[in-house]
Amino acid sequence: DIQMSQSPSSVSASVGDRVTITCRASQGISSWLAWYQQKPGKAPKLLIYAASSLQSGVPSRFSGSGSGTDFTLTISSLQPEDFATYYCQQANSFPPTFGQGTKVEIK
Amino acid sequence: QITLKESGPTLVKPTQTLTLTCTFSGFSLSTSGVGVGWIRQPPGKALEWLALIYWDDDKRYSPSLKSRLTITKDTSKNQVVLTMTNMDPVDTATYYCAHRAVGGDFIYWGQGALVTVSS
């Protein structure tokens, strides 16, 4: 299985801050990476697919980059509704695997 | 509009078999490239992929759970069923079904079904 490792596990930030979350794959996955946002009691929501493609309806303050083993999710200006947990997921090979999550908390 | 909804028991006893049904609308599981998967999330923990079934009845399972899982589809009813045998308290989780895009990401998710395993 490909292991996905996210850092940090949590981050405290203020509204307006730029937030960056990193995801590292245990082996190369080209650009087969997705990012999800999950709020308490809700299902995950797809934000980014193919490492850098913004899912329809997702605000442009979210962006993704990277290829191979190292990927980044950036929120350019944190909004109140962005406080949530974020997961990466590799879609390169079976089984699909998720990172352990990064919780973005209010500072 | 694509929607999915999980249904099944909220409480199962250890050693019992869990059967969950995903009922979906807005797409057909007979369309080339389409898949429906199951993902679970123990309370306070990360997401874990369990199984996936494709339009052509190709089935994939988590290697660590493969011996306990069966996934089937009923295209006429727009349903996918997941069974998990020999349930244990560590299997307590919210179970989600999701529409899998051709690219491998899960765009549409059900609301989730919390299953508690306890005697």
Interval B70-80: pLDDT, tens: 999 999 999 99
A49–B105 CB contact, under 8 Å: yes
What residue in A sits closest to B5 (Cα-Cα)?
A: A43
Report how far residue B41's alpha carbon sits from residue A60's, in angstroms, rounded to the nearest whole number: 28
Yes or no: say if A85 and A102 are a contact pair by the CB < 8 Å rule: yes
pLDDT attached to residue A107: 86
A1–B107 CB contact, under 8 Å: no
Three-state SS string over A58-100 comes to CCCCEEEEEECCEEEEEECCCCHHHCCEEEEEECCCCCCEECC
Yes or no: say if A56 and A48 are a contact pair by the CB < 8 Å rule: no
Report how far residue B29's alpha carbon sits from residue B101's, in angstroms, rounded to the nearest whole number: 12
Tokens linked to B54: 């494709």
pLDDT attached to residue B102: 80
CB proximity B96 to A under 8 Å: yes
Report how far residue A51's alpha carbon sits from residue B87's, in angstroms, rounded to the nearest whole number: 36
Q: Taking a contact as any Cβ pair under 8 Å apart, which residues of chain B between 62 and 91 contact chain A?
A: 62-63
pLDDT attached to residue A103: 98
Q: How distant is the alpha carbon of residue B103 from its chain centre?
A: 19
pLDDT attached to residue A3: 97
B110–A43 CB contact, under 8 Å: yes
pLDDT attached to residue A106: 87
Q: Taking a contact as any Cβ pair under 8 Å apart, which residues of chain B between 23 and 52 contact chain A?
A: 37, 46-49, 52
User: How far is the alpha carbon of A67 from chain B, nearest alpha carbon, in Å?
Assistant: 15
pLDDT attached to residue B103: 79
List the single best residue of B24, B47, B60 to mutate versus A (max A Cβ within 10 A). Answer: B47
B57: left (phi over 0), alpha (psi -120 to 50) or beta: left
Intervals of chain A under pLDDT 70? none
Intervals of chain B under pLDDT 70? none
